[in-house]
Structure 1
Amino acid sequence: MTVTEAPPETRPVPTRTRKRTRTQELQGVRGLAALSTVAFHVWQQYYVYDAAGGHPPVDNPHLAALLSLEVIDLFFVMSAYLLTLPYARAAIDGEGSVRTGRDFLFRRAIRILPVYVTAVLVVWASRNPTLPGDWRDLLEHLTFTHIFDRERIFYTLGPTWSLSLEISFYLVLIAVGPLAIRACHRLTTRRARITACAAGCAALYTLPLVWISLAHYVLGIPHTDWPVYFGPQARFGGFAAGMGLAVLLVAAEDRGRLGVRAATALTATAATGLYALSYIAHATGPEGFWRTYYHPLAALLWFALLYAILHNSVQPRWQGALRARWLTAVGLISYSLYIWHEPVMLFLYDTGLLPSEHSKSGFPLAVVIVTIMALLTATVSYWAVEYPGSLLARARDRRGRSRDFYGS
């Protein structure tokens, strides 16, 4: 959808320097997050359970806090930031244009579906060798509704419950984004437009907090009722934080950026906060306050960390490591890695190709083996399925219209 121009008296002068999205740095962050996810799920796989309860593979609470620092909220914040950025620029400054809802969903579909559908069909078929099998599990995964099934939410491809939330966010964005643009065009000052957008993001962030409080403290629903605490009504805070980050960075495009010291200090504070939150949340138990509100709080800390990376005038030296070729290469295949790492891990474990969980070196060696095999699988998946699927974007022009490749 092409954005309607603002009235001449309120139209911003196009002298503002467009902020770079720092693609390489975000790719590096995405790569680190994907590798962290692999290690976390190997950690979960190597838990030992007996009459006394569950025992982690390494009895070290500090290591447990580091490995259990769930990065799913980082993925949500990053995704929402990147996808909201055009809407924020159009709403606040009247610049550029946003895609139609149909074109937006088309491009998201060719980004997500080829690898996802391939993996679902392969994994489901391997676990259901005789028909009809668990047809409901297959149907729910193909329609992204397994997030609402308490029994099957982690079936087939366990980590893909998060994709159900991504789909929910896409639908919210294409519904709310154009409305926000129209509403902001009625406001005569840039400050008013920024305030309106920020207030909308804050409202979307607050709603999951209200839901979690109601579910946990009023209705007494336990944390094991997965759809209650994993559904969009509980986890949308990460997306709202990413939307808020897009608004903040557009608002600050013509303002002074963080210096090296400020960016380093903010990064260190956010990283320390994330580690402390993970440590305290696991120490106080699954029904404690910090665990109950872990994800909304983590989203704010990831918000701060990404702000430090994206809005600095001169990058601290350590941030240059995010542009390392090996790390950005992992970031490039991170979606395929996220999809395939769990079935790869379970295949290796079930066929006895991973060391025993009772061995002292079992867990670290398993991390190495699973990471290597998952990276190899993800590389093949990216070049054989994901990249070719992305080429379908060429079927539409910049305005979202179908290209006529055979016209006279």
Structure 2
Amino acid sequence: MPPGPATADRSDALDGIRALAALSVLAFHVWLYRDDRPRGFADRDLLDRVLFEANAGLIAFFVLSGYLLYRGFARAAVTGAAPPSVRGYAVRRAARILPAYYVCGAVVFLLYATVGPTTIQPELHELPLFAVFAQNYSLDTLMQLNPVLWTLTIEMAFYVALPLIALAGLALGPRRTAWHAGVLLALVGVTLAWYYADYRGDWGEIPRKTLPAYIGHFALGMLVALWLEHRRARRDGARLTPAVTAGLSVVGWLLVVAEGYWHETEPSGGLARALFSTLMVALGFALVVAAAAGGSGPSVDWLRARWLARTGLISYGLYLWHLPLLLVLRDNGLLPEALWPRMLVVLAVSLLAAEATWRWVERPAIDWAARRRAGRTGSFTRSKQVAAEIS
């Protein structure tokens, strides 16, 4: 792996993807929570359809988590080096996720209690489920308090499962990378089997928001990590050429757009849609992540734009805050009716909350974890490197 600036650049490109994912989910929710939005599928114009499909951005977070968190284990598997400490991994994950999650949850609960809305406010006795990321497993708490938190429940389940999955790859070692890839592909098969069983049995919302339903999406990011680490070990860290990078980027983005078109032109779906829709998006994002993490050239340089990289750095807070703030403002009549002014207001207040959370909650926790690992005072650069591991 190239030292110094090259590593920072790749992190900036991944931050750019993370920023686009968070902004697209925000745009979807601003569109969704409008009283005057088109309710019927046939009534949507092109903009409505684009904003509805923007929700696909949340899949990028799963793919990024798979890639970022599996890199160290993949590197150990292909080189024979010592794997990451599971204890250190757990500490870093806890420091990265828990402080902002609990702060946001407490503030949102108090906001709802004082100014509303109360329709999604959980009862006090239900809060322990949120505290341990178990809200997805009860219909009484699913999509309550802060509806976007359903993805964090799945993320936390993945964090627990990841070291166990990595054991298989580490056991296979450097000489059986193809078998290692087969193990990860089998996880995609788990998700396909889960989708097929749900399609036949109509399992309902709870099984659709559990780890088996999304482990394949994480696995595609893990496959990218395995491929790039294998390639770097064999080619002394050489980057992908600009032409290969562009090919991966173009095909990746085309897959994401094509799935949106498929969804909009065949809304009733069918077995093929049930099986492959979100996995098609995940594959597209996996190719884009591969280009951003291992490539070079103009097809990924734009992802390193300063405003995108900065937004990506605070994207966890942006993701946490945007929907509850939108709901509070909407319930109190503080949002413009027109779509674009509404979008700007929600974006502005969400960015402010995200920046504050990064500065006073996330970054201190990240620096603490970095100091604990390195045995020395962390810096902003070190914090940013650790932050690159977030989903």
Relative to the length of structure 2, the TM-score reads 0.85
Question: Are residues 66 and 127 of structure 1, via their aligned partners in 2, closer, same or farther at CA, if it must alter by over 3 Å?
Answer: closer
What fraction of aligned residue pairs are identical, expressed as a percent?
29
Counterpart of 1:8 in structure 2 is none
Mean Cα displacement is larger for which, 198-207 or 121-130? Answer: 121-130
1:156 aligns with 2:160: no
CA 1:20/1:94 → structure 2, altered by over 3 Å: closer, same or farther? farther
Equivalent residue number for residue 266 of structure 1: 248
Distance of 2:248 and 2:365 partners within structure 1:
38
User: Which residue is 1:196 aligned to?
Assistant: 179
Structure label with greater radius of gyration: 1
Give yes or no for the alignment of 1:121 onto 2:106. Answer: yes
Task: Indicate the larger mover: 277-286 or 69-78.
Answer: 277-286
Aligned with 1:397: secondary structure? helix
Distance in structure 1 (CA, Å) of the matches to 2:41 and 2:34:
7
Aligned to 1:237: 216
Paired residues of 2:28 and 2:51 also in contact (CA < 8 A): no
User: What is the count of residue pairs matched by the alignment?
Assistant: 362
What is the rounded CA distance, in whole Å, between the counterparts of 1:289 and 1:47 in structure 2? Answer: 32
1:363 is matched with: 339
Partner Cα distance (1:156, 1:215) in 2: 26
Q: Which residue of 1 aligns with 2:34?
A: 46
**Matched residue type, 1:231:** T
- Quote the residue 1:387 is aligned against: 363
Contact (CA 8 Å) 2:88, 2:373: kept in 1 or not?
no
Change over 3 Å in CA distance of 1:353–1:163 after alignment to 2: same
CA contact (8 A) 1:154 1:161 kept: yes
C-alpha contact (below 8 Å) 2:122/2:144 kept by paired residues:
no
**How do residues 3-402 of structure 1 correspond to structure 2 at under 5 angstroms?**
20=7, 22-46=10-34, 48=36, 54-55=39-40, 59-61=44-46, 64-65=49-50, 67-69=52-54, 70-99=56-85, 101-128=86-113, 134-181=123-170, 183-185=171-173, 190=174, 192-216=175-199, 218-221=200-203, 225-253=204-232, 254-255=234-235, 258-285=240-267, 287-289=269-271, 291-292=273-274, 293-312=276-295, 315-356=296-337, 362-394=338-370, 396-398=372-374
Deviation of 1:236 (Å): 1.3
Query: Any gaps of 5 or more consecutive residues in structure 2?
Result: 376-391
Displacement of 1:396: 2.5
Counterparts of 2:160 and 2:95, CA distance in 1: 16
Preserved contact between residue 43 and residue 57 of structure 1 (Cα < 8 Å): no
Letter of the 2:57 partner, please give it.
V
CA 57–372 in structure 1, closer or farther in 2 if over 3 Å, else same: farther
* Structure with the higher helix share, 1 or 2: 2
Moved more, 284-293 or 151-160: 284-293
Consecutive unaligned residues in structure 1, runs of 5 or more = 1-15, 357-361, 400-408
CA contact (8 A) 2:249 2:288 kept: yes
Shift of 1:334: 0.6
TM-score, structure 1 length as denominator? 0.81
Q: Classify 1:377/1:211 alpha carbon distance in 2 versus 1 (closer, same or farther; 3 Å).
A: same
Report how far residue 29 of structure 1 moved: 1.4
